[in-house]
Structure 1
Amino acid sequence: MHAVATTLSHRHYTVKVYADTLRGQSTQAFDQQQPYQIYRFGGLKPVRRRWKGLRLTKSVRQGSSGNVILCDTWKSLEYLPSSLKQSARILCLAHGMEFPDNSTPQKRKRIEKAFAKADRILANSRYTLDRLTSYLPDPERGDVLLPGITPPALPSAAATQQVHEVIKDRHPVLATISRIEPRKGHDKVLHALPALINDHTELTYVIIGSGPDKPRLANLVEELGLEKHVIFTGAVSDDEKNAWLGQADLFVMPSRAEGNSVEGFGLVYLEAAFFGVPSLAGEIGGAGDAVLHGKTGLLCDSTSDTAVKKAIHDLLADDSFRQALGQAAKTRVESDFLWPKAIDRLIHFFHC
């Protein structure tokens, strides 16, 4: 939301952000540096949400006409009065995992009641829109608003050198950047590596991030004898992350569904694309809007070891094909997904 607020401010919109106080952190310096006003609220969640709703409602009703309220989730709608639609246009963003297939009747009623207060519900992918349609009082209120990204900074010379020292000119380099949890598909990539290493003896797989599934993956690396080919970096800075993307030949994150947990879109695919790196993603979820199959990367059956292995093999076997996908991915993200362009999609919904 920071990037949205900043970009709108640079377009000469008057922006007010109603945000939570960050426990144990001082935000005064950050807040004062922004080109928009920030009002922060503390306390228990129900208390601060209620106060945000009351403060926002008062501001809208005392202000001029033409106001637009952008809610980051359906929960932000709950404490707004239904009558506020008479004074402002209300938009609500929606993400994939918020709308499970097995919602309790109580939660479904809460979501439906909240959505009734909004003029438009904007899903981050076609997949998310499909999931939330049954919650809408009118399906025509739903639409897709593909997200944007802030252009990643080019990595520093120091970070790039650090990566070079780790990989020691070994290629191809596969990279996954994510929280380490089962649905991200690290295990499927690991199972594919023994066969791939037969053709690519210097192959290196870099797992960037931290999370609860790391011990299981570390054991799997040992079981498969992949210690010389797999690197766990742990959590890294943005500079280090960008240095790894700058050296990667292929970004691999064949996400799958685990219970109600699923990839709603996948901004990290766009970050990889910015560096000209094509992606392998799963067919399940919203990644198909981030990675165009056969154009900016490949989609595969992420539940199948065989399918993941074949997709990686196909991408590594043809350098020209892989590089063409990477260039197309870079062109697409630069033309359609950087915030100056992405914000135009949001502004469109201010009026329709």
Structure 2
Amino acid sequence: MKDKQKVELVFSEVFPPMHGGSGRWLWEVYSRQDAEKYVVVAGNAEGDNLFDNKTDLKIHRISFDYSSWSDWALFSLGGLIFYTKLFLKLRKITKQYHVTAIHCGRCIPEGFVAMLFKLFKGIPYYCYIHGEDIENSATSRSMTAMLKPVLKRADLLICNSKNSHRLLLEHWDVQKDKCCIVNPGANTSAFVPAPRCEITREKLGWKDRFVLVTVSRLEERKGHDMMVKAMADIVKSVPNALYAIIGSGPRIEYLKLLTHELNLHDNIRFMPNVSDEDMVACYQQADVFVLPNRDVGRNIEGFGIVMIEAQACGIPVIGGMSGGTPETLLHDQTGFSVNCTTPNGLVEHVLLLAGDNEKREKMGLYARKHAEQFDWEIKGPEVIQSIARLEPTK
């Protein structure tokens, strides 16, 4: 009888072509590894067959059958059904291989299922920690009760920022020696500076404008509303200022209403459907990138990969203080960390940059150099190196 292939599983609902920073992080890490050593178990996504056929990685697609976040809580009929199905689906796949470890995109739900495999089969597991995931779990008693044993039994916790690491140590009583900090990165070969191009700017509808850009999902903690409110004051000093909001999400109608109430139709541009190619151009042709995030309850920013992408394009950045965002930039060198719970700090720092071309250019040069340290060719292997260094807790 032929021996089964020895592999490590990468287990994550979120994985390309599904959008999401956590899935992109996993792809950038494991696509650079030996394809014979890793097998991916990922959620179904539109266009996944086309994507999977273009990579050497073996990818199994499964359905994560749940209707809402509440289904992740074990202590309900829906939760029991969800985890039973997920466990059985993963067990069916693991029977094809000799699985030596499971790398989980999140603690819940993936980490919880991996914990069951460790209890029944002794397979070690590692969990990626994004910050917002553990904070969101703390808002639910049942999720908290599930998360604690997942963290306790994990062999390694891979934190995306110093802030996420701090949260684990301070709020979840996690052993320091089972944690490592590895920041996500960016493809600095794709995200590169480019000279100002009036043809591209005209195509984007940005000709002769001072352009501020945000790239993110439209949700409350991302802070688009504060930037829209800030624009009401910014345009008094910079009449040609344009705020381009790239992305979609549940807050879009509210933001459009706010734009209407403040009479900012000529100064706010909603761009919900931007291709990857045009996305790079948006970064390159922007004057300033803004991620005006803030904490909303325990909903925080994990890291902020878009901040690295913008800096890779040689653009100064303004970021909020939520979660790990301040770790993405060098304050007063590549941009500014600003309290974004009110519009005041945004107004002040946008006007500072708008009125000083030399400062913007200098910051952009520093930004590119700073971002190069986050290239995936550097950050990708760091996870694997951390696993190799830390002896798993048996």
**TM-score category (smaller protein):** 0.7 to 0.9
- Distance in 1 (CA, whole Å) between partners of 2:36 and 2:214 is 37
Distance 1:43 1:254, change over 3 A: closer
Q: Is the counterpart of residue 18 in structure 1 residue 18 in structure 2?
A: no
What pairs with 1:143-158 in structure 2 (closer than 5 Å)? 143-151=180-188, 152=190
The amino acid of 1:235's aligned partner reads: N
Name the residue aligned to 1:8: 33
Q: Is residue 28–residue 380 contact of structure 2 (8 Å, CA) maintained in 1?
A: no
Name the residue aligned to 1:196: 234
The amino acid of 1:291's aligned partner reads: L
Name the residue aligned to 1:71: 104
Percent same amino acid among aligned pairs?
A: 26
From 32, 46, 56, give the equivalent of 2:83: 46
What pairs with 1:110-149 in structure 2 (closer than 5 Å)? 110-133=146-169, 134-149=171-186
Shift of 1:84: 7.7
SS of the equivalent of 2:153 reads coil
The amino acid of 1:309's aligned partner reads: V
Shift of 1:166: 4.4
Name the residue aligned to 2:361: 323
**288-297 vs 242-251, which deviates more?**
288-297
Offset from partner CA, 1:234-265 (integer Å, 9 cap, x none): 22211222221121010012101122322111
From 319, 340, 344, give the equivalent of 1:306: 344
- Distance in 1 (CA, whole Å) between partners of 2:178 and 2:85 is 28
Name the residue aligned to 1:270: 308
TM superposition score normalised by structure 2: 0.77
Q: Is residue 139–residue 298 contact of structure 2 (8 Å, CA) maintained in 1?
A: no
Q: Is residue 206–residue 233 contact of structure 1 (8 Å, CA) maintained in 2?
A: yes
SS of the equivalent of 1:170 reads coil
Shift of 1:93: 0.2
From 62, 70, 82, give the equivalent of 2:118: 82
Paired residues, what number?
340
Distance 1:105 1:206, change over 3 A: closer
From 66, 80, 97, give the equivalent of 2:132: 97
TM superposition score normalised by structure 1: 0.86
Structure 1 vs Structure 2 CA RMSD: 2.8
- Distance in 2 (CA, whole Å) between partners of 1:51 and 1:150 is 36
Distance 1:214 1:147, change over 3 A: same
Offset from partner CA, 1:276-304 (integer Å, 9 cap, x none): 11111111221011122122210111102
Q: Is residue 191–residue 309 contact of structure 2 (8 Å, CA) maintained in 1?
A: no
Name the residue aligned to 2:213: 175
From 221, 227, 232, give the equivalent of 2:259: 221
SS of the equivalent of 1:143 reads strand
Q: Is residue 192–residue 309 contact of structure 1 (8 Å, CA) maintained in 2?
A: yes
**95-104 vs 312-321, which deviates more?**
95-104
Q: Is residue 41–residue 51 contact of structure 1 (8 Å, CA) maintained in 2?
A: no
SS of the equivalent of 1:174 reads strand
Shift of 1:126: 1.5
Q: Is residue 173–residue 203 contact of structure 1 (8 Å, CA) maintained in 2?
A: yes
SS of the equivalent of 1:192 reads helix
- Distance in 1 (CA, whole Å) between partners of 2:47 and 2:234 is 49
Q: Is residue 232–residue 262 contact of structure 2 (8 Å, CA) maintained in 1?
A: yes
Offset from partner CA, 1:131-184 (integer Å, 9 cap, x none): 23332442332232101223446799xx98464244353232111111222222
What 5-or-longer segments of structure 2 have no aligned partner?
1-25, 66-81
